[in-house]
Amino acid sequence: MSTTRSGLDLLRRMRRNRGTPSVRSLVRETVLRPEDLIQPLFVRAGEGVPEPVESMPGVVRHTLASLVLECRRVAGLGMPAVALFPCIESSLKDALSTHATDPSNILFAAIRAVKEECPDLAIIADVALDPYTSHGHDGLIDDRGNVENDSTVETLQRLAVAEAEAGADIVAPSDMMDGRVKAIRTALDAAGFPRTGILAYAAKYASAYYGPFRDAVQSSSGQPLDKRGYQMDPGNVREALHEVHLDEEEGADIVMVKPAGPYLDVIRAVRGHTLLPVAAYQVSGEYAQIHAAARLGWLDYEATRDESLLAIKRAGADMILTYFAAEVAASLQA
């Protein structure tokens, strides 16, 4: 056997730990597992087949029947949780989001149906008013068009309790109103739900990456919405740490950064700032842009998808909400 003598006098050769798949596996620092992934799902009232979301390939607005089937599949893939978002008919929306706490809200029926069929699958229920408001904002607005904080929080309290009554394991306030975590914790405890967890959207940025989601839940009023009065400035990191600290003091069980990919530095900063579990949401725009570039042949779809998720976990996320969740979990089991 011939050998090649190197002209370099090196004791440390980093490539030795990269030479074969088995060695690379031994030294890999970050590993993505199905248990790290949470599948967001959309549900609508009515029968028939699920409705495709045009701006999010592969994503649909489920009926109750198809939602239950999908949740069975998710549970079978080893994922621990789903996050449910309602798609509300426009005729049921108004400025006061009255349908949010109506017993006929499809979200409550969806929680009950999934919990009955998949009792071990954790259900995370969205606590926000934008699916129910005719104007598309995450809260109630005053005569000048500003989102009112305290009256919005009162409605969120009632919504969170109703979700817990339906069987939600975790409620997830995504509105970014001040004081809502403490108010929801107080309301849940008073209603007899001390075991219901709170996943706080602690650092939710006023991002340009949310467009396809608003299409999915049909929350846009048709006009561009400016949510910078309550969602965070994309230029701020210290503010995110302040928000996390406040939510932690108010009783949050998990804190989240949203979006994920463009805010890896924020995820890392939050991970170093809190002992709570950290979630990250790979949002609809992140999902859609990978699909779009892959369809044009500019990116390898699966490789880019998987690398994007690995980067989020490497940054410090303990769990990732992503529309890729089920297909990635299936690929990990293959």
182 is catalytic: no
**Which one is catalytic: 115, 204, 227, 313?**
204
What is the spatial distance between Cα 261 and Cα 266, in angstroms, rounded to a whole number? 10
**Which one is catalytic: 93, 115, 227, 258?**
258
Q: What are phi and psi of 200, to 5 degrees?
A: -90, 125
Residues designated as active site: 204, 258
